[in-house]
Amino acid sequence: MPAQLIDGVQLSQQLRAEIAGRAAKLAAAGQQPGLAVILVGEDPASQVYVRNKVKACGDVGFHSVLEKYDADLSEAALLARIDALNNDSAIHGILVQMPLPRHINPSRVIEAIATAKDVDGYSVLSAGELVANLPGFRPCTPYGCMKLIESTGYDLRGKHAVVIGRSNTVGKPMALLLLQANATVTICHSATPNLGVYTRQADVVVAAVGRRNTLTADMVKPGAIVIDVGMNRDDAGKLCGDVDFAGVKEVASHITPVPGGVGPMTITMLLMNTVESAERVLGKRQEQLGQPAGMDPRPGTA
Ligand code: NAP
């Protein structure tokens, strides 16, 4: 029987409706969630990404700020803008669109974002929080993958999950999230010989490589859940993932399509982290005012 599709578009819509409800409550309490998106340069793909993020903010009732700068913006000027946004109480999340022009050090920029506003979850401190099981912001793509797995009702406890890829933004945090969910986790990468030896043992496979047909039907255990993070182009120029979808769907129990799987979830989880950030700020304010959580902190007193 062919695998059931895990529909990232539908799950995103569901989660965004929930986020909009939380945003409305926050706005009523004088704490409308706010996201700042910074774009440096004119990279066409980045322009589309930031436009989509800002539009998504509007759709769920967030305040958003899009700051666009010429490619020759100095690193010092960018760091100064981040510092200002760190101190802006209307902003709960800061996202700097990558890649940055070559003269700007991306690590310095990411580390300049206050951890409490690092809704991309890319900073070293956010990564440390994930390693230490502390509440922090999880990188959006692996966080979205976890929601997709969760949506199938599958219990990861004691199951074997194999992650293909070990990037700081996808593979490694993905493995940590699966570990937190009590899976036994194997991480494979470009130096892993005989990838299929590992994937054939997996109850769940997450492919985050960036090379199509990395995972084929003969490499998948019957009934496994397959999450395809990859974004590649096939010979006809059509978007495709890392998984040979046509073959693997005949073996797996659940599979994400590309497009329409992990992709839509990434922006949704950015919104989720931002609403969460605003809720934390409101919670702290209510604590300071000595009010029970969730109570309207008298608009105008903030
Ligand atoms: P990345 O930084 O290039 O990392 C790719 C990983 O794949 C590396 O760890 C690499 O191993 C490993 N790898 C390469 N060839 C391999 C092979 N033959 N066998 C096993 N592992 C191999 O990429 P990324 O940023 O993690 O992204 C991965 C893919 O996900 C890309 O297609 C990207 O476009 C896509 N993506 C999609 C979304 C979304 O929203 N849908 C978001 C982020 C990324 P080494 O470490 O040994 O080099």
- Distance between Cα 165 and ligand 1 center (Å): 5
CB 25 less than 6 A from any atom of ligand 1:
no
Over residues 288-299, mean pLDDT: 66
Distance CA 221, CA 161 (A): 12
User: Distances in Å between the alpha carbon of 67 and those of 70, 74, 148, 228, 272?
Assistant: 10, 14, 32, 32, 21
- Distance between Cα 37 and ligand 1 center (Å): 24
Over residues 57-82, mean pLDDT: 98
Same domain membership, residue 148 and residue 194: yes
Predicted local confidence at residue 1, as pLDDT? 79
**H helices present in 252-294, as ranges:** 262-288
Predicted local confidence at residue 295, as pLDDT? 55
Residue 248 has pLDDT above 90, yes or no: yes
CB 141 less than 6 A from any atom of ligand 1:
yes
The answer to whether residue 12 sits within a structural domain is: no
- Distance between Cα 88 and ligand 1 center (Å): 35
Distance CA 209, CA 23 (A): 35
Same domain membership, residue 158 and residue 100: no
Predicted local confidence at residue 140, as pLDDT? 98
Same domain membership, residue 147 and residue 97: no
pLDDT in tens, 220-237: 999 999 999 999 999 999
Q: How high does pLDDT run on average in the chain?
A: 96
Secondary structure letter of residue 163 according to DSSP: E
CB 259 less than 6 A from any atom of ligand 1:
no
- Distance between Cα 145 and ligand 1 center (Å): 14
Predicted local confidence at residue 280, as pLDDT? 97
The answer to whether residue 25 sits within a structural domain is: no
Sequence-separated (6 or more) residues with CB below 8 Å from residue 248: 3, 215, 216, 217, 220, 226, 255
Answer yes or no: are the C-beta atoms of 176 and 146 closer than 8 Å: no
CB 142 less than 6 A from any atom of ligand 1:
no
Predicted local confidence at residue 291, as pLDDT? 78
What percent of the chain has a predicted confidence (pLDDT) above 70?
97
Predicted local confidence at residue 296, as pLDDT? 54
Q: Cis omega before residue 259 (within 30°)?
A: yes
Write the single-letter amino acid at 52.
N
CB 231 less than 6 A from any atom of ligand 1:
yes
Answer yes or no: are the C-beta atoms of 54 and 66 closer than 8 Å: yes
Q: Give the SS3 label for residue 135.
A: coil
Q: Is 133 left (phi over 0), alpha (psi -120 to 50) or beta?
A: left
List the structure tokens of 51.
Answer: 């436009």
Ligand 1 atom with least separation from CA of 189: 21
- Distance between Cα 143 and ligand 1 center (Å): 16
Same domain membership, residue 106 and residue 185: no
Predicted local confidence at residue 233, as pLDDT? 96
Residue 26 has pLDDT above 70, yes or no: yes
Which domain range does residue 228 map to?
A: 140-255
- Residue where a domain terminates, one of 217, 239, 255: 255
Q: What global pTM score does this model have?
A: 0.95
Over residues 177-193, mean pLDDT: 98
Per-residue pLDDT band at 301 (split at 50, 70, 90)? very low
Q: How many domains does the chain have?
A: 2
Same domain membership, residue 228 and residue 171: yes
For ligand 1, pick from 9, 209, 239, 268 the residue to mutate: most ligand atoms within 8 Å of CB. 209
What percent of the chain has a predicted confidence (pLDDT) above 90?
94
CB 260 less than 6 A from any atom of ligand 1:
no
- Residue where a domain terminates, one of 213, 230, 255: 255
Distance CA 162, CA 178 (A): 9
The answer to whether residue 46 sits within a structural domain is: yes
Predicted local confidence at residue 300, as pLDDT? 40
pLDDT in tens, 105-156: 999 999 999 999 999 999 999 999 999 999 999 999 999 999 999 999 999 9
Same domain membership, residue 93 and residue 56: yes
